[in-house]
Amino acid sequence: MGVVGWRVRSMVQHLGWNCRRGLSSAAVQSQLENVGFIGLGNMGAHMARNLVMAGYKVTVHDVNENTMKKFSDDGIPTKLSPLEVSKSSDVVITMLPSSAHVLDVYNGRNGLLANGGCLGPWLYIDSSTVDPQTSRKISMDISRCTLKEKKAYAEKPMMLDAPVSGGVPAAEAGKLTFMVGGSEEAYLAAKPLLLSMGKKTIYCGGAGNGSVAKICNNMAMAISMLGVSEAFALGQNLGIKASVLTDIFNCSSARCWSSDTYNPVPGVMMDVPSSRNYDGGFTSKLMTKDLDLAMASASGVGFNCPFGSQALEM
């Protein structure tokens, strides 16, 4: 395992695992206490607030000044750049719309790595949905850096790609699932932090594998959502109510997340985007982006995805 791995694993055992809302004071140790959060959109804003509720000292940044003001008004410290966030953080979490945004936040002017390769935070977690190549590039960039101060539990900065599943409702309720790529030691160290924002974490392997899991998951979801939506539309055109068809789907072979959790037909299921005029849901624009990532990654390894390609076209 090595000295670094042993130290991190010992730290995790010391912290304990019960780190959901109502985090005990014993579990919030200095190693994870100061968290920087960058990207306060529909998902990130809820994730950051759940960290505050869990007892972490959170500092935030976003390009949207109105969003920043909401956090500032609630007494949560805000910073004008990612670099400023990093100066007061042990751990930095990013939740951004695209690969380009991630690269800019990490490597751009006033970015997280703009301090000459000598870093304050010991752990970086990117929960954005990006291509695996971007995750691996950022991980490699961080591995070349050093820490301003050597820690008892880490000799070099570490990086995890940790995209999420569950959508906005799960982000708000603290019930996200994290798919995590990177070193297993860093994953174990980050697990209590992740579980203050989610209900489940899954270790996927080395750097970029969390992003691989995410784009594969979203490709499958896009395909299933198209199929479920088409079947509902056909059923209604043939005279059956969507609510009746939902009951049938959900106790039969058509059952899936798109039918039993995120039903696309208005009025069938409460508290989902289709029943609030599709407000606050996962947008078609973002799904197109994710399918683009999946198809580009498939092309990069010479793999043909006919259903994924058709879903992207639709």
pLDDT 10s digits, 42-83: 999 999 999 999 999 999 999 999 999 999 999 999 999 999
Predicted structure pTM score: 0.85
What pLDDT band is residue 29 in, cutting at 50, 70 and 90?
A: low
User: Is 90 exceeded by the pLDDT of residue 103?
Assistant: yes
The pLDDT score that the predictor gives to residue 271 is 84
Last residue of a domain, one of 191, 206, 221: 206
Asked whether residue 185 is assigned to any structural domain, the reply reads yes
**Tokens encoding 78:** 């805000």
Amino acid in position 311? A
User: Is 127 found in the same domain as 68?
Assistant: yes
Buried b (16+ CB within 10 A) or exposed e, 126-143: bbbbbbbebbbbbbebbe
User: Is 161 found in the same domain as 55?
Assistant: yes
**Number of domains making up the chain:** 2
**Which domain does 264 fall in, by range?**
213-313
Query: What does the DSSP assignment read for 190-240?
Result: HHHHHTTTEEEEEEEESTTHHHHHHHHHHHHHHHHHHHHHHHHHHHHHTT-
Catalytic, out of 57, 214, 241, 289 = 214
The pLDDT score that the predictor gives to residue 168 is 86
Q: What is the C-alpha to C-alpha distance for residues 191 and 178, in angstroms, rounded to an integer?
A: 9
User: Is 198 found in the same domain as 68?
Assistant: yes
Q: What is the C-alpha to C-alpha distance for residues 158 and 169, in angstroms, rounded to an integer?
A: 30
> CB of 94 within 8 A of CB of 128?
yes
Kindly give the residue spans of alpha helices, DSSP state H, lying in 113-200.
Answer: 132-143, 167-173, 184-194
User: Is 251 found in the same domain as 145?
Assistant: no
Whether 214 is catalytic: yes
Which of 83, 4, 90 has its CA nearest to residue 38?
83
User: Is 192 found in the same domain as 149?
Assistant: yes
| Residues written for the chain | 314
Query: Can you say whether the dihedral through the CA atoms of 280, 35, 23, 180 is positive or negative?
Result: positive
